[in-house]
Structure 1
Amino acid sequence: MKEGMDPRVYWIWTQRAFGAGSPKPWQLFRRFPGGLCEFYAGGPSLWNRMELVSEREAGMLYSYGISQAQALLEYCYKCGQEVITPECEKYPEALRNIFDPPAVLYLKGKLPDVDRIPTVAIVGARKAAEASVRAAEAFGYQLASGGAVVVSGCALGIDAASLMGALSAAGTPVSVLPTSLDSNYVVRNAALRSSILERGGCLLTEQATEQNIHQGTFQVRNRIISGLSWGALIIQAARRSGTLITAHHAQEQNRDVFVYPGKPGDESYEGSRLLLEDGAKAVSCGEEILEEYQHRIQAARSSEPVDLTGLFDELEVPASSGLEELADSGTGRTLSENAEKVLGVLEKTPVHVSMLEEKTGLPASSVLAVLTELELEGIIRSYPGRRYSRA
C-alpha cells in the first residue's frame, strides 16, 4: 500500500475498472493475502496474465489510475457522502455473504444495523393499482411500527408508498438508488428522499457519478435491496416484470420471499402467483412477516403497541403512481445489439454470467442489462448461481 493511502481507494479503483455489479473486486480481495493493495502492486504484468481479468478490464485498470480514485474519495467527503467498502466495520455482513458484494457503497444518512434489526425489502410495480399502493403503505407502516427497517428503491408506485408508510410510523427506512446520490432521480420523489434523511433514514447507492438510467442499472441495484434484507415482500408483480428479478435475487441470496397475493385472476398479479407456486409465503399484513423473525429480533426499536385495525382503509394514496422513466417490461421492442450478441453465445445448457462477459467482451453492467432485457421478453431463463440459458 502506498504510504498514507486509504484502503478504500483500491476498492474504488477496481469498481471503476470492473463496473458496478461485478463480483471480481471481492474475488481479488479474497485471492491475495494483501488484498487489493497487493493486486495493485502487481501492476499490468500481473493483471494481464490473470484469467480472471479480461483484456478490456486490464486496460481499464491501467487507464483509471489510483490518483483518480483518491480524488473521487475526497470529492465524496466534500459532498457530505460517506464511503464504505467490505473492509470497513460499517459494511453490512449481509452483503459480504452474497455472490457479488458491492465494492463500494456511497451513502447519506445513517445506515441501520441490518444484520441485527429485522430488515424487509418491499418492491413492486411502478404503475401500481390503487389497492397495491395502499397495501404497500400499510405494510411499510406496520413493519416500521414493529421495529423493522424497510428497504426499497425510490421510484414511483410501490417503492414510494412503502417508504412513506415507514416514515409515517417514525421508522428510519433505507432507499437504495440506481444512480449517484447527487442525481435528481426521481424528480417527483425529491421531497421523499429529503424526508428520509431528515428523519434518520439512509440513501444508499453503488454508483459514484452515474446519472443515466438503463434496465441493467436496476438489476444491479436490486441485488443490493434484497441483499440488505432478511426477506423481500413482493407487491403486484406481473408475469414479465422487473420485480420478479428482485425476487430471484432474494431466492439466490437465500432470503425469504413474501407475497401480497392481490386480487384473484388479476393479470397484474400473475407473477406474484407464480412466486407463491414456487414456495413464497402469502402475507396480508406486516405482523405476519415480523412473526417469522421473532426469534432473531435483538435490537428492534421499542415502541407502544399500535392498533392497525382498518389501516388499509385509512391510508392516503399518493397523488400519482405512474412511471416517467422506464416501463417494467421491454415487450414489443426490437432487441438491442448487445442483446443479440449475448443471445448468440447462449445455448440450452445454463452458463454462468462471467462466461458471458468473457465470450462477448461486454462489461458486467452491460451483460446484466441484456440479461434483464432477454428475461423480461421470455427469451432466456435464469437459474440459481447467476446462470442463464435460452428458454
Structure 2
Amino acid sequence: MNTLFAAPCSPAELEARLRLHLLPDIGSRRFRTLIQAFGSACSALSAPARAWVALGVAQACADARRSPEVRTAVSATMAWLERPGQHLLMWDDPGYPALLKETDDAPPLLYVAGDPVLLERAQLAVIGSRRATPPALDTARAFSRHLARGGFTITSGLALGIDGAAHRGALDAQGSTIAVLGSGLQKLYPQRHAVLARDILERGGALVSEFALDAVPQPGNFPRRNRIISGLSLGVLVVEASLASGSLITARLAAEQGREVYAIPGSIHHPGAKGCHQLIRDGALLVESVEQIVDSLRGWQNLAPAPVDEPVDPLLALLIAAPQTSEALALSSGLALAQVLARLTELELIGRVSNEAGRWFARCG
C-alpha cells in the first residue's frame, strides 16, 4: 500500500483516519484535535458522541461516523491506494513536505498521484489570471521553462491561463511540475486540462489534493488549495492578475508563511496588471528576469546556475515593456517605420512577436 508513516500504522488506524477525514465539517484543526484528545483515530471513533461535542464538534458530525456513505468512500480510497503511483501522505509521515508542515492549518492528509518525492524538492509557485493575455501566457511559460532548467520544481493549480502555461513551461524543459487541485483527484477540474494532467503524470510530475477522491470543485475549495501551493513553495511568482484575482490571496498567504513573493509588472492601462502592481506596492519583488528569482533564493542547494538569456532585440525589449503599434515603436526606437516593419516581420516569423488588433506583443522565448 502506498503510504508513508512516521511509525507503523495498522490498517485499522489508516481506515479510521480516512473516516475522520471524510466526515462533514472536520477540518485540519478538528482532525488533529480529535486524534490528540483520544490518542488515535481508532479511539476517537470509539468515543461517545458527547465527548466529541465537548470538543466543539457538531452532534450531526459525530453521528455521521458510522454512516454507510463514509464507509463506502473509505473502501474506495483503500482500493485506490492499492494501485501503482497513488499515495496518501499524513501530517506525521516522514515523507510529508517539511515546508508545508510548518504552516498554520497544514492539511492532515494529502492524496498524491505521481511522484510524492517531488513535494520535498525546491519548488517555485507560478500563478496568475485564468484569462491571461497572450504575452502573459508566453511570459509564464518562458519563466517556468527557465526556472525548471535551473533546478526548481514548478508548482501551480492546474487552472486555465497562467497555471496551465506554467505547467507546460516546466514540461517543455523536461523539468518537474506539481499541480495542486481544488477538487478530488478523481474529479479533475478543469476538464479542459485533462490532457495536461495526464502529461504531468507521464513525465514524472505529481497531482496533489487534500480533498476526498470524489470531491467536486466548490468555490471554497480554491482558497484552501492556494494555501497548499504557497506552503509547498520557496516563493510565489505572480505573472498577471487583477485586483480581484485569487492569485493575490495566494501571494498574501505566501507572505504570511514567510515565503518570497515576486510580481511581474505590466502596462498601467491593463486591468490584469493592477494586481501585480498592488503586490509590488505591498513589498513583492518586481521581477524582470529569471536571474532575479534565482539570485534571491541562492542559499538553497541543488539548484543549477541561473540560465543566461541571449541579448534581447531592441524592438523586442520595447514590446516586453508594453505592447505598441508599429508607429509608436518607430517613435520610441528612433528607427524608420520601414525598418521597424521589416524587423517585426522577421521577429514574427521566428515566433517572438505577434500582432493583435494593430498592436504588437512580445512572445517570450
Distance verdict in 2 for CA 1:315–1:55, change over 3 Å: farther
Matches within 5 A, 1:42-61: 42-51=47-56, 53-61=57-65
Residue equivalent to 2:22 = 16
Which residue of 185, 205, 208 corresponds with 1:204?
Answer: 208
8 Å Cα contact 2:153/2:178 also seen in 1:
yes
Q: Are the aligned partners of 1:17 and 1:61 in contact in 2 as well (CA < 8 Å)?
A: yes
Q: 1:284 aligns with which of 283, 288, 292?
A: 288
Equivalent residue for 2:98, pick from 86, 89, 93: 93
Q: Does 1:188 align with 2:196?
A: no
Question: Residue 160 of structure 2: which of 156, 172, 186 is its match?
Answer: 156
Q: Secondary structure of 1:122's partner? A: strand
Q: Distance in 2 between matches of 1:170 and 1:126?
A: 24
Q: Which residue of 1 aligns with 2:250?
A: 246
1:262 aligns with 2:266: yes
**1:86 Cα deviation after fit:** 1.3
Say yes or no: does 1:215 pair with 2:251: no
Equivalent residue number for residue 369 of structure 1: none
CA–CA distance in structure 2, aligned partners of residues 187 and 277 of structure 1 = 36
Deviations 1:258-300 (A, max 9, x none): 1111223422111211111111111122221121221122x34
Shift of 1:202: 0.6
- Check whether the contact 1:44–1:62 (CA below 8 A) recurs between aligned residues: no
AA partner of residue 13 (structure 1): R
Name stretches of at least 5 consecutive residues in structure 2 with no aligned partner: 1-8, 321-346, 354-365
Query: C-alpha distance in 1, partners of 2:188/2:118?
Result: 27
- In structure 1, the residue matched to 2:39 is 34
Paired amino acid for 1:170: Q
What TM-score, normalized by structure 2, do the two folds share? 0.76
SS in 2 for 1:74: helix
Residue number among 278, 294, 297 corresponding to 1:293 in the alignment: 297
Q: Highest relative contact order (Cα 8 Å, sep 6+), 1 or 2?
A: 1
Cα 1:135/1:315, change in 2 over 3 Å: farther
1:1-391 pair list within 5 angstroms: 4-19=10-25, 22-29=28-35, 31-32=36-37, 34-51=39-56, 53-63=57-67, 67-68=71-72, 70-80=74-84, 81-115=86-120, 117-210=121-214, 212-297=216-301, 299-300=302-303, 306-309=307-310
> Could you say if the C-alpha distance between residues 38 and 170 of structure 1 is closer, same or farther in structure 2, counting changes exceeding 3 Å?
same
> Which structure: larger Rg?
2
Q: Secondary structure at the match of 2:220?
A: helix
Change beyond 3 A, Cα 1:285–1:159: same
Q: Secondary structure at the match of 1:215?
A: coil
Task: Determine helix, strand or coil for the equivalent of 1:102.
Answer: coil
Instruction: Say if 1:230 and 1:7 are closer, same or farther in 2 by CA, change over 3 A.
Output: farther
Shift of 1:62: 4.6
Cα gap change, 1:99 to 1:64, in 2 (>3 Å): farther
Tell me how far 1:49 sits from its aligned partner. 2.0
Do the aligned partners of residues 201 and 20 (structure 1) sit closer, same or farther apart at CA in structure 2, a change above 3 Å counting? farther
- The corresponding residue for 2:337 is none
The aligned counterpart of 1:378 is: none
**Separation (CA, whole Å) in 2 of partners of 1:140 and 1:217:** 25
**TM-score, normalised with respect to structure 1:** 0.71
> Which stretch has the larger CA shift, 69-78 or 147-156?
69-78
Cα distance 1:240–1:20, how it changes in 2: closer, same or farther (>3 A)? farther
C-alpha separation in 1, matches of 2:307 and 2:292: 15
Deviation, structure 1 residue 193: 1.2
Q: How many residues align?
A: 309
Structure 1 unaligned runs (5+)? 318-391
1:68 Cα deviation from its structure 2 partner: 4.4
Superimposed CA distance per residue, residues 187-229 of structure 1 (whole angstroms, 9 cap, x where no aligned partner): 3222211111111111111222335323212112111111111
- SS of the equivalent of 1:7 reads helix
Moved more, 164-173 or 202-211: 202-211
- State the AA in 1 paired with 2:292: E
The residue type equivalent to 2:51 in the other structure is L
User: How big is the shift at 1:88?
Assistant: 2.1
The more displaced of 193-202 and 87-96 is 87-96
Kindly tell me: are residues 194 and 69 of structure 1, through their superposed partners in 2, closer, same or farther at Cα, counting changes over 3 Å?
closer
Distance 2:27 2:275 in 1: 25
Q: In 1, Cα distance between the equivalents of 2:90 and 2:244?
A: 34
Q: AA paired with 1:12?
A: L
Contact in 2 for aligned 1:76/1:83 (Cα 8 Å): no
Cα offsets for 1:223-260 (capped at 9, x unmatched)? 11111111111121111122112122212322221111
In structure 1, C-alpha distance between the alignment counterparts of 2:54 and 2:65, rounded to whole Å: 13
Q: CA deviation at 1:78?
A: 4.5
Identity of aligned residues (%): 31
Contact kept, 8 Å, 1:73 with 1:83, in 2: the verdict is no
